[in-house]
Structure 1
Amino acid sequence: MKRSTLPLILTLIALPAAAHEGVKDPQVLARMNVMETIGKQMGTLGGMAKGEVAFDADAAAAAKATLEKASAQVLPTFEPPATDPHSEAAPAIWEEWDGFTTQSVAMDAAIAALDTSSLETLRAGLGGIGQTCRTCHKAYRIKK
């Protein structure tokens, strides 16, 4: 992965914990928790890729496994068009459900393809996941 794109990827996926404060709709809270889990796991993997923490194949594999489970929950948690003033989900998600689904499936595939056995393969695979995050956030996320 190019070093210049990693900070952008990590910025796009990070969800501050404060965003959950005041959320009343349980479906929206569930979505936020799924996205927060994805962000945390990408942070773990990104930290290794950037050399901020030592590469650990076992920790990377565990992060990937958690990432796969969370990614599998994206469509089920977003399918109901629940709203909340604190939500960052754009109405385009439900207006363009097929496009959102395509992005979610692409993320699942990129995560499945991630090889966490070495630092080099981790770095090489994170770009594909980051691209799916960027594309989806650009089209389907409201920045608050």
Structure 2
Amino acid sequence: MKKTAFAVALIALGTAALAHGGVKNKDVMARMEVMKSIGDQMKIIGSMAKGEADFDAGVANAALTEIAAQSAQIQSLFESRADDPKSEALPAIWKDWTDFAHLASTAEITAEGMIGTISAEADLGPALGTLGGTCKACHSKYRK
């Protein structure tokens, strides 16, 4: 389960990086930039978890802080329905706004609650699994 959530998060992040080219709507671009920022922080934690980067609890917890801060913007960035051919946001967001807002809030609260909890390399996998789960919960319903 943890490996699946981690893999889904990494695939989603790679896809998001390619999607930014040619976006014309500034609101859609702002949403994409927030998601990219969250993805970049997940990559920091992920690279430590895979042994590609040296473990640093301070850096990992700083990444959680940034994920929480960026996640806090999600609801406001999606309040107005903006569209762009490059957007991966599904219309279901605005049809089921209450659920979408709840999932966005859950991502923020989850990341915020994890700040300071990474003290050993063994904490990275569970953190990624938990955070990846919040990403997947929303992306599976509201992202193309």
TM-score, structure 2 length as denominator? 0.89
Q: Is contact 1:14–1:40 with CA below 8 Å preserved after alignment?
A: no
For the Cα contact (< 8 Å) 2:2–2:128, is it kept in 1? no
Aligned pairs for 1:40-79 within 5 A: 40-79=40-79
Go from structure 1 to structure 2 and tell me whether the alpha carbon gap of 1:51 and 1:97 turns closer, same or farther (over 3 Å shift).
Answer: same
- State the distance in 2 between where 1:64 and 1:42 align: 8
Structure 2 equivalent of residue 137 of structure 1:
139
Give the Å deviation of 1:23: 1.1
Separation of aligned partners in 2, 1:49 and 1:108:
21
Residue in 1 aligned with 2:127?
125
CA contact (8 A) 2:10 2:43 kept: yes
Which structure would you say has the larger RCO, counting Cα contacts within 8 Å and 6 or more residues apart?
2
Counterpart contact for 1:12–1:133, Cα < 8 Å = no
Once the two structures are TM-superposed, the CA of residue 49 in structure 1 deviates from its matched residue by 1.6
**Which whole-Å CA distance do the structure 1 matches of 2:15 and 2:76 have between them?**
19
Quick one: structure 1 residues 17 and 11, their matched pair in 2 at CA, closer, same or farther if it must change by over 3 Å? closer
Shift of the alpha carbon at 1:4?
A: 4.9
Q: Contact 2:30–2:77 at 8 Å: present in 1 too?
A: yes
Deviations 1:34-91 (A, max 9, x none): 0000111111111112222111112112211211111111111111110011100000
Partner of 2:22: 22
Whether the 8 Å contact between 2:31 and 2:78 is mirrored in structure 1 is yes
Count of residues in Structure 1 that have an aligned counterpart in Structure 2: 142
Alpha-carbon distance change, 36 to 96 in structure 1, aligned in 2, over 3 angstroms: same
Secondary structure of the residue aligned to 1:14 is: helix
Gap change, CA 1:104 and 1:90, over 3 Å in 2: same
Equivalent residue, structure 2, for 1:105: 105
Q: Deviations over 1:86-123 (max 9, x none)?
A: 10000001111011011111111221222222222232
Structure (1/2) with the larger helix percentage:
2
Partner Cα separation in structure 2 for residue 9 and residue 99 of structure 1:
20
Unaligned runs of 5+ residues in structure 2 are none
For 1:4 and 1:130, the matched residues in 2 are separated by: 9
TM-score (norm 1): 0.89
Query: What is the aligned-residue RMSD (CA, Å)?
Result: 1.7
Q: Distance in 2 between matches of 1:91 and 1:83?
A: 9
Identity across matched positions, percent? 42
